[in-house]
Structure 1
Amino acid sequence: MPFSNFFQEFTVLDYLSNALDILLVWFVVYKLLMVIRGTKAVQLLKGIFVIVAIRSASGLLGLDTLSWIMEQALTWGFLAVIIIFQPEVRRALEQLGRGRLFARNITQENEEQRKMVEALVKSVSYMAKRRIGALISIEKETGLNDYIETGIMMNSAISSELLINIFIPNTPLHDGAVIIQKNQISAAACYLPLSESPFISKELGTRHRAALGISEVTDSITIVVSEETGAVSVTKNGDLYRELSPEEFKKLLQHELLTIEKNDSSNRWSWRVKKNNG
């Protein structure tokens, strides 16, 4: 059949069916990527792409031995993936069974976020009044698993009491950062990268440098309570917002972390902060 007549065999219904098929496949792939986001499975996915690229290149260049090795890696790697990443696979299947893989409960999610904001505001206020140094980083879109692995795993529900106890001086977990992931405390005593910016004020200590450092390489929101002054600061996107009042601090968290607040285009920051890295 001539190529020019190939598309004449398709009806409008065929085009719509094929378009729907492609959209559904992309939707499933997107949801699966959301499930593994921020986990070690992301690194595995990158490794698979590398193997596929090497397999394709070796086939084109006639490297038969390398091509055979890559073929075996792809053939048997599927079983290894299921075994190694059994927790991620189980979580995806559980979400599918509960109908949560393809739908989000915005109301429930926002309620959890509100509780998190309240716990953060209460604990930070307590520590600021008593000049208890604290460093708390909240994951957003960019995964923080590399930094979580440097600390002590907790996987605990967020409460103001727990956050306060973590940062009490001379306790085992007080030195380092708490990382919050998916509305829970994932780890404590984590090491964050220090900012190397020459414009940072000399009066700022290691906590502020770490908060700026993590904000320069991720989109996380990081909270700092100064041990010397009790001042509350927040970093995001490489910017440092210093000496926030309790009201400013609460409004910032609500704007950045609450789903409804973020999706409301009419919501704007109506408060002034000192954005100062120098």
Structure 2
Amino acid sequence: MFLQFSLKDFIDILLVALMLYYLYRLMRESRSINVFVGIMIFVLGWFFVSQIFEMRLLGGILDKLVSVGVIALIVIFQDDIRKFLYDLGTRQRIQTFLRFFSSGHTNKRNTEGLKRAILPIVMACISMSKGKVGALIIIQRHSPLTDIVTTGETINADINQRLIENIFFKNSPLHDGAMIIANQRICAAGCILPVSHSLDIPKSMGLRHRAGLGITQESDALAIIVSEETGSITVAQNGQFRRRISSEELESILTQEMI
């Protein structure tokens, strides 16, 4: 058997190992690791019973369970499967490839408009940071956030520093939700976001930070979080935090990611 081992077999084993490792990471982030371990134990038991020990009766029963279990797993882990497939389609190289064929080149007028839209966001975040006003601003990039926008109140206004500050003012009815910015406009405010269940989030971060991280785990959006307790500015992107950033760093991030 070992004499017949070829490069194709090595690649086959490597791909399976990578797939299992990625599934392990995915389950660990969604706190389903115990279920993943249980499934692996069941699959190994089924393999030994059916292939190694050749127990026909028990193997036949397990075969039926496996065939039905695939459908059950799809139902149970539909959110995780959706995230897995979304991650495959939102890799940077794939997005760059798609943008190349969809647009061909960046419109100069659109770039200038984006530059003008960045400054009010930065200035509003600086002002709210000094006043320790909590804020959660989500900037749509390539993936549409239509389902998130519908959970809040439609604004549909130009990006304006005073408007942003007024929405997140402590007595404002919309200050607890998220603001969605898309296509150089404030689309909605008071929106409800998916909350991240990652165990790596520091306990000092509250629900606003978890919501900001959650939307970046499910889309390619950019989240800006201003802490109500400390006034520090945090940026979430691709499921990762960049904490305690300065105004210059915020402007640089927005310029790099929005233009």
Equivalent position amino acid for 2:218 in 1:
V
Residue in structure 2 matched with residue 127 of structure 1 by the alignment:
128
- What whole-Å deviation, never above 9, does each CA across 1:157-215 have from its counterpart, x for those lacking one? 11111101100001111110000011100000000000011111110001100000000
**Distance of 1:159 and 1:111 partners within structure 2:** 16
Within a 5 Å distance, the mapping from 1:1-278 to structure 2 comes to 106-258=107-259
* CA 1:168–1:197: 2 relative to 1, 3 Å: same
Equivalent position amino acid for 1:133 in 2:
G
**Distance of 1:236 and 1:105 partners within structure 2:** 22
**Distance of 2:211 and 2:183 partners within structure 1:** 21
- What whole-Å deviation, never above 9, does each CA across 1:90-144 have from its counterpart, x for those lacking one? xxxxxxxxxxx99987121111101111011110010001100000000011110
**Distance of 1:133 and 1:224 partners within structure 2:** 7
RMSD, matched Cα = 1.6
**Distance of 2:172 and 2:103 partners within structure 1:** 42
Equivalent position amino acid for 1:135 in 2:
L
Residue in structure 2 matched with residue 23 of structure 1 by the alignment:
none
The 3-state SS of whatever aligns with 1:193 is: coil
Equivalent position amino acid for 1:152 in 2:
E
* CA 1:103–1:172: 2 relative to 1, 3 Å: same
**Distance of 1:143 and 1:103 partners within structure 2:** 20
- What whole-Å deviation, never above 9, does each CA across 1:233-266 have from its counterpart, x for those lacking one? 00010011000011111111111112xxxxxxxx
**Distance of 1:200 and 1:183 partners within structure 2:** 30
Residue in structure 2 matched with residue 46 of structure 1 by the alignment:
none
**Distance of 2:106 and 2:254 partners within structure 1:** 21
Equivalent position amino acid for 2:189 in 1:
A
**Distance of 2:250 and 2:133 partners within structure 1:** 17
**Distance of 1:177 and 1:246 partners within structure 2:** 20
**Distance of 1:231 and 1:172 partners within structure 2:** 23
Residue in structure 2 matched with residue 72 of structure 1 by the alignment:
none
* CA 1:110–1:123: 2 relative to 1, 3 Å: same
Matched residue pairs, number? 158
Stretches (4+) displaced over 2 A? 101-105
**Distance of 1:111 and 1:133 partners within structure 2:** 29
TM-score (ref. length: structure 1): 0.55
* CA 1:172–1:184: 2 relative to 1, 3 Å: same
**Distance of 1:172 and 1:103 partners within structure 2:** 42
**Distance of 1:122 and 1:200 partners within structure 2:** 27
Q: Percent identity at matched positions? A: 40
**Distance of 1:131 and 1:106 partners within structure 2:** 37
**Distance of 2:225 and 2:195 partners within structure 1:** 14
The 3-state SS of whatever aligns with 1:123 is: helix
TM-score (ref. length: structure 2): 0.59
* CA 1:194–1:232: 2 relative to 1, 3 Å: same
In the alignment, structure 2 segments of 5+ residues that lack a partner are 1-101
**Distance of 1:179 and 1:134 partners within structure 2:** 12
